[in-house]
Each structure stands twice: as structure tokens, then as C-alpha cells.
């Protein structure tokens, strides 16, 4: 399951992610990261069987945690299957099937929104469906 972590300024420099990994034994994949002197934000992928404990520990440490349930909305009726999203997606969410129709593998999405900006007809939208 994908989680969005937001680290407030007072946690800058504290190895919270490493501590949670060590405490839970969860193998996390960092899919997107932004860190500067003021804030930090990560999108991580956590095994489903460990996600509840990971969320609990991050929250105990003062990290804002959101479960990312759905990351992208695709209006298939609006889509012209041009492939613009394929060429810009860094995580290979999109591909053509054997009939040259677009298919999505949403599990690969890292919520970068590059595809949303690239779509010439507005068939893709970022979703904030989070818990």
C-alpha cells in the first residue's frame, strides 16, 4: 500500500524512516521524495501486512501520514489513446494493449502528476482520495 508521509520542520534531520524500518522490519520502497531545509515529503510503498504498524509508528513520531487509495482518475471515454502519458510516465503506469488501446497499471503510480499535465484532452486527473 502506498503512503504519503509529510515531515514537519522540527523533524528535519531525524532518521524517522530508518527507525520505522528497523522497528517494523518492513521493506519499504521510496517511490518519490522531496526534502529541503523546511519540509520533507515521501511517497512510500509498504507491504500490506505491515502497513498498520508502520502508520502507527510514523504518527507516534509526529509524521503526517495518508494512505493513498486511488492516485489517478482516467476518463476512458475522453481518452483518444494518443500515448502522450506513456512517453512521460517515469514509472510505466501506461501501456498500449495489442489493439493499441491504453491500459493502466495503477499500482505503479507514484503520484507525480506528469501524465495529468501531458494529456492533451484532459482524460487524466490527480485524485486526492486518501484516508
Measure CA 39 to chain center.
17
Strands (E), 1-131: 2-7, 29-35, 40-45, 64-74, 94-96, 102-104, 124-130
Its domain, for residue 15, covers: 2-68
102 within 8 A of 96, measured Cβ to Cβ:
yes
pLDDT, position 129: 52
Domain check: are 47 and 95 in the same one?
Answer: no
Long-range contacts of 34-42 (CB under 8 A, 24+ apart): 35/7, 37/12, 38/9, 38/12, 39/6, 39/7, 39/8, 39/9, 39/12, 40/5, 40/6, 40/7, 40/11, 40/12, 41/4, 41/5, 41/6, 41/7, 42/4, 42/5, 42/7, 42/17
Number of domains, the chain: 2
Measure CA 15 to chain center.
21
pLDDT, position 130: 52
pLDDT, position 111: 83
Output the pTM of the full model: 0.72
pLDDT, position 54: 97
pLDDT, position 128: 66
pLDDT, position 37: 79
pLDDT, position 131: 52
The CATH number assigned to the domain holding 92 equals 3.30.70.20
Domain check: are 62 and 76 in the same one?
Answer: no
pLDDT, position 11: 86
Mean pLDDT by 10 residues, the chain (131 residues): 91 90 95 86 94 97 90 90 94 93 88 92 80 52
Domain check: are 87 and 125 in the same one?
Answer: yes
What's the residue count for the chain? 131
Q: Which of 26, 48, 68 is the last residue in one of the domains?
A: 68
Residue 99 in grid coordinates: 489493439
Domain check: are 28 and 86 in the same one?
Answer: no
Amino acid at each position: 500500500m502506498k503512503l504519503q508521509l509529510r515531515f514537519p520542520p522540527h523533524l528535519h534531520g531525524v532518521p524517522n524512516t530508518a527507525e520505522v524500518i528497523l522497528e517494523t522490519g518492513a521493506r519499504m520502497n521510496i517511490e518519490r521524495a522531496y526534502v529541503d531545509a523546511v519540509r520533507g515529503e515521501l511517497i512510500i510503498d509498504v507491504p500490506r501486512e505491515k502497513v498498520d504498524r508502520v502508520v502507527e509508528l510514523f504518527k507516534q513520531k509526529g509524521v503526517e501520514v495518508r494512505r493513498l487509495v486511488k492516485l489517478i482518475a482516467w476518463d476512458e471515454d475522453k481518452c483518444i489513446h494518443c500515448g502522450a502519458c506513456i512517453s512521460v510516465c517515469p514509472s510505466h503506469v501506461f501501456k498500449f494493449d495489442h489493439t493499441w488501446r491504453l491500459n493502466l497499471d495503477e499500482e505503479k503510480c507514484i503520484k507525480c502528476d506528469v501524465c495529468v499535465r501531458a494529456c492533451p484532452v484532459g482524460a487524466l486527473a490527480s485524485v486526492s482520495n486518501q484516508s
